[in-house]
């Protein structure tokens, strides 16, 4: 299915009670939604009824922040999405998983399984995990360097795609009369020998409905953008202004073309945190209420951690210290660090003002207004080379997605900017992206130099 260049894409970022850090304190909020299957099922169905392309779950192999600050427990996302696959039928299901703290075989198997269970709706948000806390959970004293994490990620994707291609699409024949379930010459070892991984293969899951899960990426550093240009099919990005969104969009599309890829095959989705009211005054009132509920002691500690400085150096009614580290000194979340510092400097924000802005969207574009104003903003970005769609991050859930689905989506549909019905079945079809061709060929042969053997040799010494 080809991409419709005149229609945008919408993903719902599921985040317990909403993306504003104080959303859990509102009277309507269920403070246990983060651990509730029913809560996630409801949100996914609202998004599916509105014909969203996909829903997305973030994740980290470490506890998130101070548990006193907001709901911080997280269910394992591929397990949760497998459950959501049974209660939805068309919407895409994207889970985050780290290349730093997984092995390619297990992760390739997990996502191939999710793709089967969902009928071709799986997506993988690829992260390298910038966290010393995560490193400590896997026997390391500190996280690997930024460059090392991306080098491992690159080889991780090389191995994963080989594993997904280790079965040809026509390998399974299920011929009862002949007594042949799968053709052995169509199931291949990969015999990967690299810097980080030695993997024999084949995968123990046949090639899935989409061949690969949709490959999503969220890093915006130099290494992240180069990685995205090579591998990503969709990008979640945090860009707080139109100009920054346009620059990022043009940069990544240029890098994709330089890498020999079709730039239209990378869907760029900036995050937007909408606070919606029937009137602008109503929206501003909700936004102000949320900001009043922020607990500064937690927010300052989190900001200090991001900036890699002592919390005592941050004074609520003063600007950021002048002598912050350079980005080159930061090993984790480089692009988010730079975004926050540049934002504070550009707008001359006090620490109090900065944590208020970060409390709503953690550096993503926040917008407070009426449904019409939200729709106009989305269209303006789409029409002006800043986005192929948006990662919708409601400040409050479930009311935020209910309002967006009921009030904003119809405006976008009336303008011909968003689908009124699903045209395809798989997540790739929703995004207008092609199904990957098997790198080992589909005629039974193997390309020269691939070093791949059929499954008859599995177990033989290498």
The full set of domain ranges for the chain reads: 9-276+366-457
Q: What is the pLDDT of residues 257-280, one digit of tens each?
A: 999 999 999 999 999 999 999 999
| Residues contacting residue 162 through CB under 8 Å, at least 6 positions apart | 190, 192, 199, 201, 439, 452
Q: Where does the pLDDT of residue 142 fall: very low under 50, low under 70, confident under 90, or very high at 90 and above?
A: confident
Q: Where does the pLDDT of residue 40 fall: very low under 50, low under 70, confident under 90, or very high at 90 and above?
A: very high
Q: Where does the pLDDT of residue 323 fall: very low under 50, low under 70, confident under 90, or very high at 90 and above?
A: confident
Q: Tell me the Cα Rg of the chain.
A: 23
Give one DSSP letter per residue of 367-416, joined into a string.
EEE-HHHHHHHHHHHHHTTS-SEEEE--SSTTHHHHHIIIIIHHHHHHTT
Q: So what's the pLDDT on residue 259?
A: 95
| Residues contacting residue 125 through CB under 8 Å, at least 6 positions apart | 56, 58, 94, 95, 96, 97, 216, 217, 218, 236
Q: So what's the pLDDT on residue 9?
A: 98
Helix, strand, coil percent content, the chain, rounded in steps of 5 = 40, 15, 45
Measuring CA to CA, how many Å separate 375 from each of 11, 363, 383, 418, 438? Answer: 15, 21, 12, 11, 40
Q: What gap in Å lies between CA 383 and CA 342, rounded to an integer?
A: 26
pLDDT mean over 362-387? 91
Model confidence, pTM: 0.87
Average pLDDT over all residues of the chain? 88
CA 245 to mean position of chain CA atoms: 17
pLDDT mean over 65-81? 87
pLDDT mean over 389-401? 96
Tell which wins on pLDDT, 456 or 281.
281
Closest CA to 397 of 3, 1, 34: 34
CATH architecture classification, 9-276+366-457 = Alpha-Beta Barrel (3.20)
pLDDT mean over 8-30? 93
Q: What gap in Å lies between CA 209 and CA 82, rounded to an integer?
A: 15
The answer to whether residue 160 scores a pLDDT higher than 80 is yes
Q: So what's the pLDDT on residue 444?
A: 39
């Amino acid at each position: 299915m080809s991409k419709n260049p005149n229609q945008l894409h919408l993903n719902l970022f599921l985040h317990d009670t909403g993306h504003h850090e104080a959303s859990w304190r509102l009277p309507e909020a269920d403070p246990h939604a983060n651990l509730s299957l029913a809560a996630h099922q409801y949100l996914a169905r609202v998004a599916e009824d509105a014909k969203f392309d996909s829903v997305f779950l973030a994740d980290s192999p470490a506890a998130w922040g101070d548990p006193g600050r907001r709901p911080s427990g997280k269910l394992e996302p591929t397990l949760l999405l497998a459950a959501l696959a049974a209660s939805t039928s068309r919407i895409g299901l994207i889970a985050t998983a780290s290349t730093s703290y997984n092995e390619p075989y297990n992760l390739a198997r997990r996502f191939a399984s999710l793709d089967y269970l969902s009928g071709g709706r799986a997506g993988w948000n690829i992260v390298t995990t910038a966290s010393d806390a995560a490193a400590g959970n896997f026997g390391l004293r500190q996280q690997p360097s930024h460059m090392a994490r991306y080098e491992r990620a690159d080889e991780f994707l090389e191995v994963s795609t080989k594993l997904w291609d280790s079965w040809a699409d026509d390998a399974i024949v299920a011929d009862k009369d002949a007594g042949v379930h799968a053709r052995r010459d169509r199931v291949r070892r990969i015999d990967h020998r690299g810097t980080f991984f030695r993997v024999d293969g084949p995968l123990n899951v046949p090639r899935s409905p989409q061949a690969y899960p949709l490959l999503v990426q969220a890093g915006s550093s130099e290494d992240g953008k180069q990685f995205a240009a090579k591998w990503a099919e969709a990008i979640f990005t945090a860009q707080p202004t139109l100009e920054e969104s346009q620059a990022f969009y043009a940069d990544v599309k240029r890098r994709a073309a330089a890498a020999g890829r079709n730039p239209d095959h990378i869907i760029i989705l900036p995050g937007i945190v909408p606070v919606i009211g029937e009137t602008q005054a109503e929206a501003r009132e909700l936004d102000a209420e949320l900001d009043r509920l922020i607990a500064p002691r937690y927010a300052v500690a989190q900001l200090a951690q991001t900036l890699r400085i002592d919390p005592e150096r941050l004074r609520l009614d003063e600007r950021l210290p002048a002598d912050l580290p350079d980005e080159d000194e930061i090993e984790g979340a480089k692009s988010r660090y730079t975004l926050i510092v540049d934002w504070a400097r550009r707008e001359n924000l006090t620490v109090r003002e900065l944590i208020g802005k970060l409390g709503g969207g953690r550096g993503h574009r926040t917008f407070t207004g009426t449904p019409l104003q939200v729709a106009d903003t989305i269209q303006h970005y789409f029409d002006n080379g800043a986005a192929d769609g948006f990662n919708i991050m409601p400040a409050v859930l479930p009311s935020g997605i209910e309002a967006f689905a009921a009030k904003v989506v119809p405006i976008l549909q009336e303008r011909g900017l968003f689908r009124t019905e699903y045209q395809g079945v798989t997540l790739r079809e929703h995004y207008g992206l092609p199904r990957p061709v098997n790198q080992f060929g589909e005629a039974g042969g193997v390309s020269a130099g691939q070093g791949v053997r059929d499954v008859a040799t599995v177990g033989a010494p290498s």
